[in-house]
């Protein structure tokens, strides 16, 4: 069996086969990598960083994004109303509305 595996491994080295894998790095990014290997050497390496939240085409994800955008707009409008009611222009030192 070992001899057969050795022969198969060496025969596979004669062909430029394609390999694929995915992995995560320290920053939490997901990488998808495709490369060819021939005689134990890698070439034609294509490493792509995948953003799973950006490429997701799911209805619920789109709805959550739309809701978050609407909430951001509502918060900006409420901040403007509150600043107008208090009479603050946002430049006060001790004002919680100043950014």
Residue ranges of domains in the chain: 2-50, 56-90
What is the residue whose two structure tokens read 């290997």? 37
Average pLDDT, the chain: 79
Residue 52: partners with Cβ closer than 8 Å, 6 or more residues away? 30
pLDDT, average across residues 61-78: 79
Local confidence band at 98 (pLDDT 50, 70, 90 cut-offs): low
pTM of this prediction? 0.44
How many residues are present in the chain? 99
Residue 58: partners with Cβ closer than 8 Å, 6 or more residues away? none
For the chain, give the percent of residues with pLDDT over 90: 2
- Mapped to the 3 state alphabet, what secondary structure does the chain carry? CHHHHHHHHHHHHCCCEEEEEEEECCCCCEEEEEEEEECCEEEEEEEEEECCCCCCCCHHHHHHHHHHHHHHHHHHHHHHHHHHHHCCCCCCCCCCCCC
Q: Using an 8 Å Cβ cutoff, are 83 and 97 in contact?
A: yes
More confident residue, 5 or 96: 5
Reply yes or no on whether the pLDDT at 7 is more than 80. Answer: yes
pLDDT score at 89: 66
Render pLDDT for 24-60 as a digit per residue (tens, 0 to 9).
888 878 889 999 888 878 888 888 887 766 656 667 6
Reply yes or no on whether the pLDDT at 94 is more than 70. Answer: no
């Amino acid at each position: 069996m070992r001899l057969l595996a050795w022969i198969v491994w060496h025969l596979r080295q004669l062909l430029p086969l394609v390999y694929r894998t995915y992995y995560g790095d320290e920053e939490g990014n997901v990488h998808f990598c495709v490369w060819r290997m021939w005689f134990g050497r890698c070439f034609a390496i294509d490493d792509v960083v995948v953003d799973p939240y950006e490429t997701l085409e799911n209805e619920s994800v789109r709805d959550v994004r739309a809701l978050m955008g609407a909430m951001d707009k509502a918060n900006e409008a409420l901040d403007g109303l509150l600043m107008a009611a208090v009479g603050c222009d946002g430049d006060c030192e001790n004002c919680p509305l100043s950014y």
